[in-house]
Structure 1
Amino acid sequence: MGKKPKILFISHSVGGVDVWLRLVLANLNPNLFDIVIIHGFTDTNKVFLNKENKPLKEYKIAIDRNLHPWKDTKAIFQTISIVKNEKPDLIHAHSAKAGIIGRLVGVATNTSVFYTPHAFSYLSTSNKIKRSFFLSIERLFSKFNNKILATSESEKNRAIVDVHYSPKKVIVFNNCINEISDIKELSIPQTWPDEYICSVGRPSYQKNIEFMVEVIKRVTLEKPNVHLVLMGVGFHSPNLESVKAKISAYNLEKNITLLEWTERKDVFHIILKSRLYISSARYEGLPYSVIEAMALRKACIVTDVDGNRDLIVNNQNGLIIKEDNTNEFSNAILELLEDENRRQQFEANSLKLFNEHFNIENTIHNLESIYKTEAEKKS
């Protein structure tokens, strides 16, 4: 057997990026590739493991979420040094900051680069000046010698239509997860009713939780005892106080439970026992929380945005609602809570779609083929 291609991953490994990386590393065939990981000093202390549960080689550099000219410059030179030492066949950079570093380093070292945005940075703000600035940066880097490895068809379309990547330079590998089984009992006290709907999302511009509170307020006019359990609150939640204020103003403290932190096994338990899963996001890459809900047989009601529309087929495994339409969203919740037959049909379709398109055990060979094809071009 010849020398295995070496892939070097660069990321600020938090949130969905960390989930993506750990899932892929735990499923890639270790006999096919050598893996090296670069991530930040402050993002994660948890070891990265391969499919055989063996620790992978990693480096830590001065990379984090926010803009720091000195730190970012240092991170670029640190990465150049690592790449020159490791000589990877392929760099795979994740999210905006690592994407810039990875693409610059790719040019400096003549190394092939994949960039996965996990939702392009220009989508993260309503400020037109900032949005234009972030989009200009993405368009500039699209001229470099790199390819997009999109997490969804929506992200692929953004790359081509908005960012102006050539269609030949955009590939799709859907976010996907392992089948969820062996659900454990809650490790935390259940402080909410047995009948509830749920969501996962930190209070932020992206997740638009204020809109979700507005929807619940409207639902209570018809169904006063409706209850929402919102998970993922706490870590990097810039709009948390705004959400709490709105809950208080509408007297919804008895209708909404905010879970600031809980283990993944608890998240799965809560989703499994819920009546519905909802998402009010303004944009997504391809949201793991919705994929998890599908894997757990949930009917979903989601906003009609990138990522959500790649997972939910309207009137098949859930309902898609135009953004900011509180009437339509609240009516959809009421409808599915009352119509058990329709909800159960959506649930069965969610699991079917998950297994066909978003079960990593069925799709990882596609990513292995993508990596192998790109790495061999260097040979």
Structure 2
Amino acid sequence: MIKVIHVLHAVGGVDVYLRLLLAIMDHNKFEHIIIKGENDTHETYFRPDGKLIKVYKLPIDREINFIEDFKSISQVVKIFKNERPDIVHAHSAKGGIIARSASVFYKVNVLHTPHAYSYLSADYGFKRRIFLFIEKFYKHINSKLLATSNSEINRGLIDVGYKEEDVYLFNNSILPIEEIKPLKIKKTWPDNYICSVGRPSFQKNIELMLDVLFEVKKQENDIHLVLMGVGYHSPNLLNVKNLIQSLGLENNVTLLDWTNREDIFYIIKHSALYISTARYEGLPYSVIESLALGKPIVATKVDGNQDLVKHNYNGFLVENENATEMSSFVLKLLNDKTLFQTFSENSKLLFEENFNMKNNIKDLECIYENNIK
């Protein structure tokens, strides 16, 4: 039995990633243990056979806190020495720092999955250089890069400086969506709408999405956007609400604070298309889900999005945050049923070829097996 310890701040897509692989990985070959933040999701984790997975809760938070982070590292060292893992899988920046620091005192290979490198969250400047320096420093400490996309591999090789032999790819993947369950929340938006998932933040750039909507409205007055996931850690929420008012979009936008995955599937499935205006991504689950559900996608040409959208094949990619160009692509898909159908079929093909968890999980199992010290 191969013992794997996961270290993470279990929120959002990182939590989804972990739950998906735990639900399908061979439990006769792998034992999983989780070390996560004490203020993270309280939902339990299960093996494929329904048994509970052991969880340790520590003060692992998104922001840097030297005292709490030192406490977490000390406790992780004790857990490593007690549990004696064969491999450690660290998720995101904070999980990577804590796990690799602890591995100094218990020698074990750490597979680090950035889920979008933290330095990308900062504008070009001092903060960005510091975050990048941290990644460059920690790559030397028992570290292998387990990227979620080819874009993340390129970041690891070019920006961070990993050697090619220390880099692996396991695309974010999901199980096929075989059933769309009825909506559990009250539907307050019209039947014809476009949708997106994204908390108002620098990364998701919802302000650009509203600018696009404003441009589309000039030709399609009844255009409507359903934006999901705005409730958790949304530093730009007030700016977004003010922009909705200033652009006169109060009747064209629905903001959903929190939505469970089944309702997200329902909303994406019944939408006209999916839109992403992110400045960077790891490999976004909402876009993968859109592929699985056969949705055309209009997105910014950035890390993550460009791994999932092929321009003029299953959607359109836009460079340089160009609201006018992006709105023209949205209008094109809304008004061309033949193109819409072609893109829809191509999205499904792309999902089956690259992002179906049933096909991809064996790759991750092999990566784990090949990195045991």
Aligned to 2:292: 295
Aligned to 2:182: 185
Aligned to 1:343: 340
The code of the aligned residue for 2:314 comes to: N
Give the secondary-structure state (helix, strand or coil) at the position aligned to 2:342. helix
| CA distance, structure 2, for counterparts of residue 20 and residue 255 of structure 1 | 32
- Displacement, 1:334? 0.5
Give the secondary-structure state (helix, strand or coil) at the position aligned to 1:246. helix
Equivalent positions of 1:51-130 (< 5 A) are 51-130=48-127
Q: Is residue 257 of structure 2 the alignment partner of residue 257 of structure 1?
A: no
| CA distance, structure 2, for counterparts of residue 189 and residue 74 of structure 1 | 43
| CA distance, structure 2, for counterparts of residue 144 and residue 165 of structure 1 | 12
| CA distance, structure 1, for counterparts of residue 59 and residue 256 of structure 2 | 31
* Structure 1 residue runs of 4 or more that deviate by more than 2 Å after TM superposition: none
The code of the aligned residue for 1:144 comes to: I
Give the secondary-structure state (helix, strand or coil) at the position aligned to 1:107. coil
Give the secondary-structure state (helix, strand or coil) at the position aligned to 2:222. coil
Aligned to 1:277: 274
Give the secondary-structure state (helix, strand or coil) at the position aligned to 2:103. helix
| CA distance, structure 2, for counterparts of residue 313 and residue 99 of structure 1 | 31
Give the secondary-structure state (helix, strand or coil) at the position aligned to 1:332. helix
Aligned to 2:365: 368
| CA distance, structure 1, for counterparts of residue 338 and residue 270 of structure 2 | 17
Q: Is residue 198 of structure 2 the alignment partner of residue 209 of structure 1?
A: no
Give the secondary-structure state (helix, strand or coil) at the position aligned to 1:147. strand
| CA distance, structure 1, for counterparts of residue 278 and residue 189 of structure 2 | 24
Equivalent positions of 1:327-338 (< 5 A) are 327-338=324-335
Alignment length (residue pairs): 373
Give the secondary-structure state (helix, strand or coil) at the position aligned to 2:204. coil
| CA distance, structure 2, for counterparts of residue 48 and residue 225 of structure 1 | 42
The code of the aligned residue for 1:209 comes to: I
- Displacement, 1:225? 1.0
The code of the aligned residue for 2:110 comes to: V
| CA distance, structure 2, for counterparts of residue 191 and residue 7 of structure 1 | 44
- Displacement, 1:127? 4.9
Give the secondary-structure state (helix, strand or coil) at the position aligned to 2:211. helix
| CA distance, structure 2, for counterparts of residue 355 and residue 127 of structure 1 | 37
CA RMSD of aligned residues (A): 0.9
| CA distance, structure 2, for counterparts of residue 329 and residue 320 of structure 1 | 8
Aligned to 2:305: 308
Give the secondary-structure state (helix, strand or coil) at the position aligned to 1:7. strand
The code of the aligned residue for 1:54 comes to: K
Give the secondary-structure state (helix, strand or coil) at the position aligned to 2:6. strand
The code of the aligned residue for 2:174 comes to: I
Aligned to 2:356: 359
| CA displacement 1:57-82 (0-9 Å, x = unmatched) | 12111211111111100000000000
The code of the aligned residue for 1:88 comes to: P
Q: Mean alpha-carbon deviation: is it higher for 139-148 or for 113-122?
A: 139-148
- Displacement, 1:264? 1.6
The code of the aligned residue for 1:183 comes to: I
The code of the aligned residue for 2:369 comes to: K
The code of the aligned residue for 1:86 comes to: E
Pick one of 310, 319, 324 that aligns with 1:322. 319
- Displacement, 1:323? 3.2
Q: Mean alpha-carbon deviation: is it higher for 62-71 or for 237-246?
A: 62-71
Pick one of 31, 36, 56 that aligns with 1:39. 36
| CA displacement 1:265-320 (0-9 Å, x = unmatched) | 11111100001100000000000000001111100001000000001111111111
Gaps of 5+ in 2: none
The code of the aligned residue for 1:349 comes to: N
| CA distance, structure 1, for counterparts of residue 18 and residue 12 of structure 2 | 10
Give the secondary-structure state (helix, strand or coil) at the position aligned to 1:134. helix
Give the secondary-structure state (helix, strand or coil) at the position aligned to 1:162. helix
| CA distance, structure 2, for counterparts of residue 319 and residue 239 of structure 1 | 26
- For normalisation by structure 1, the TM-score amounts to 0.97
| CA distance, structure 2, for counterparts of residue 244 and residue 13 of structure 1 | 28
Residues 153 and 172 in structure 1, CA contact (< 8 A), matched pair in contact too? yes
- Displacement, 1:118? 0.3
Gaps of 5+ in 1: none
Give the secondary-structure state (helix, strand or coil) at the position aligned to 2:104. helix
| CA displacement 1:112-141 (0-9 Å, x = unmatched) | 111000000000111511001100111111
Q: Is residue 187 of structure 2 the alignment partner of residue 173 of structure 1?
A: no
- Displacement, 1:355? 1.0
Residues 282 and 323 in structure 1, CA contact (< 8 A), matched pair in contact too? no
Identity %, equivalent residues: 51
Residues 148 and 169 in structure 1, CA contact (< 8 A), matched pair in contact too? yes
The code of the aligned residue for 1:259 comes to: L
